[in-house]
């Protein structure tokens, strides 16, 4: 029997999960768990490249695990864990940092963007973030990494680091491929539809744990344009096109069907209908997350079990790396 390909992916607990995180990533992860050997991580070590409130970070980490499960990720089928619970991530990151060029890191688009946004806090961690990301992936000999367009550059760097290390020490790492899932919809901000919906800009976000009233209000206020026609035209009607994308992702309809549904109806009917579709999509996720969060012992057990399984795989890779670079065995 063919061995299943291995997938690694993770999301930072730096803010609450959004509709964009669900439709763009987690929903497609749930579809991958049947056909692949999956590791889904909560990358809390990456989150501290920007200052976090410690109590909030702890709360969001457990909330995110509950939301992963509520979104359909099964802890029995996948390895689901918290990054800081597996110290081999930091250990491999140091070794890989010694095989990464300064110039490569300084060219990373995300470093430039984040440095501009947080000019008062440009840390070494922010600069070397892609090395830790490479360690996350290479530690588990992942074949595929589901990523959005914004992280693709980091996966390319990961491939370069792995190839460079393999040139010196053959057959150490699997060279991973970026994997952009077909079903992932790119969801834009409700306030500025030119930008991706991002937890770092909460104004245009719908969060998985928002109440139905909040969701309805956010969609009524969503930015559109001065026409009334509901049609998909990303260039001239970014707001309406984004709402159509969301409506289709929530209902399973095609863009053509959605345009037909709202032909001649105007935005006064369209926007609340999109809100209603999202409310029904997120209702079971919110309710199941709330139920799981009441059982902290269960969530902690999932984290512990996941960390043990991840650690077993990570130790095998790290031992091989340490031996090849010349460290004396522990």
Q: Which of these ranges, 77-81, 137-141, 191-195, 280-284, has the smallest mean pLDDT?
A: 191-195
H/E stretch holding 144: strand 144-146
Q: Which residue has the higher pLDDT, 111 or 261?
A: 261
- DSSP, collapsed to helix, strand or coil, labels residue 233 as coil
Domain limits of the chain?
6-185+296-325, 209-291
Kindly name the residue from 27, 114, 218, 271 that is annotated as catalytic: 114
In this predicted structure, the answer to whether residue 267 has a pLDDT above a threshold of 90 is yes
| 3-state class percentages of the chain: helix first, strand second, coil last, to nearest 5 | 55, 10, 35
Please state whether the predicted TM-score (pTM) of the whole model is above 0.95.
Answer: no
- Across-strand partners of 18? 207
Q: Report the candidate in 47, 88, 43 with the shortest Cα–Cα distance to residue 312.
A: 88
User: In this predicted structure, what is the pLDDT of residue 1?
Assistant: 47
The predicted-structure confidence for 166-193, as pLDDT tens digits, reads as follows 999 999 999 999 887 665 678 999 999 9
Is the pLDDT at 87 greater than 70, yes or no? yes
Question: In this structure, which topology does domain 209-291 adopt according to CATH?
Answer: Tyrosyl-Transfer RNA Synthetase (1.10.240)
The tens digit of pLDDT for each residue in 40-78 reads 999 999 999 888 999 999 999 999 999 999 999 999 999
Cα(202)–Cα(84) distance, integer angstroms:
26
Q: Is 320 a catalytic residue?
A: no
Q: Are strands 144-146 and 177-179 parallel, antiparallel or unpaired?
A: parallel
Residue 280 pLDDT: 97
Q: 27 in the Ramachandran plot: left (φ > 0), alpha (ψ -120 to 50) or beta?
A: alpha
Average pLDDT over residues 269-279: 97
The secondary structure element, H or E, covering residue 306 is: helix 296-325
DSSP character at residue 187: P
* CATH class of segment(s) 6-185+296-325: alpha beta
How would you class 106 by CB atoms within 10 Å of its CB: exposed for 0-12, middle for 13-18, buried for 19 or more? exposed
Residue 8, burial from CB neighbour count under 10 angstroms (0-12, 13-18, 19+):
buried
**Percentage, residues of the chain above pLDDT 70:** 98
The percent of residues in the chain predicted with pLDDT above 90, rounded, is: 75
Range 215-227 average pLDDT: 94
Q: pLDDT value at position 232?
A: 94
pLDDT at position 284 is 97
Given 196, 218, 237, 271, the catalytic residue: 196
User: Which one is catalytic: 27, 117, 199, 220?
Assistant: 199
- Distance (Å, whole) CA 107 – CA 82: 29
* pLDDT score recorded for residue 114: 79
Burial of residue 330, with CB atoms counted within 10 A of its CB: 0-12 exposed, 13-18 middle, 19 or more buried = exposed
Inter-residue contact 42 to 307 (CB < 8 Å): no
| Neighbouring C-alpha atoms within 13 Å toward the C-beta of 64 | 27
Average pLDDT over residues 6-35: 90
The whole-number pLDDT of residue 183 equals: 53
The whole-number pLDDT of residue 184 equals 61
199 is catalytic: yes
For the question of residue 27 being annotated catalytic, the response is no
Give the model's confidence band at 135: pLDDT under 50 very low, under 70 low, under 90 confident, else very high. very high
State the Cα–Cα distance between residues 95 and 178, nearest whole angstrom.
23
Element (H, E) at 89: helix 88-97
Q: What is the pLDDT of residue 2?
A: 62
């Amino acid at each position: 029997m063919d061995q299943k390909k291995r997938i690694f992916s993770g999301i930072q607990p730096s803010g609450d999960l959004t509709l964009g995180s669900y439709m763009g990533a987690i929903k497609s992860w749930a579809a991958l768990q049947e056909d692949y050997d999956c590791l889904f991580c909560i990358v809390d070590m990456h989150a501290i490249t920007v200052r976090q409130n410690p109590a909030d970070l702890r709360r969001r980490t457990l909330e995110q695990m509950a939301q992963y499960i509520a979104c359909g990720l099964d802890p029995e089928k996948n390895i689901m864990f918290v990054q800081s619970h597996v110290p081999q991530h930091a250990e491999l990151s140091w070794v890989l940092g010694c095989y990464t060029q300064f110039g490569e890191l300084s060219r990373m688009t995300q470093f430039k963007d984040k440095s501009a946004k947080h000019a008062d806090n440009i840390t070494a961690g922010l600069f070397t973030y892609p090395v830790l990301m490479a360690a996350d992936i290479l530690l588990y000999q992942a074949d595929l990494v589901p990523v959005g367009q914004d992280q693709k550059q980091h996966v390319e760097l990961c491939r370069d680091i792995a190839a460079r290390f393999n040139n010196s020490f053959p057959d150490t790492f699997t060279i991973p491929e970026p994997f952009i899932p077909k079903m992932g919809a790119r969801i834009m901000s409700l306030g500025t539809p030119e930008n991706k919906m991002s937890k770092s800009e909460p104004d245009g976000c719908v969060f998985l744990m928002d109440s139905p009233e909040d969701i309805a209000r956010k969609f009524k206020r969503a930015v559109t344009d001065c026409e009334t026609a509901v049609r998909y035209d990303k260039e001239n009607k970014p707001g309406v096109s984004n709402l159509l994308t969301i409506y289709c992702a929530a209902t399973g309809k095609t863009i053509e069907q959605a345009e037909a549904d709202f032909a001649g109806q105007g935005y006064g009917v369209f926007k609340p209908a999109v809100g209603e579709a999202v409310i029904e999509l997120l209702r079971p996720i919110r309710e199941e997350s709330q139920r799981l969060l009441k059982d902290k012992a269960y969530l902690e057990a999932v984290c512990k079990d996941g960390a043990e399984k991840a650690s077993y795989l990570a130790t095998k890779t790290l031992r091989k790396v340490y031996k090849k670079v010349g460290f004396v065995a522990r």
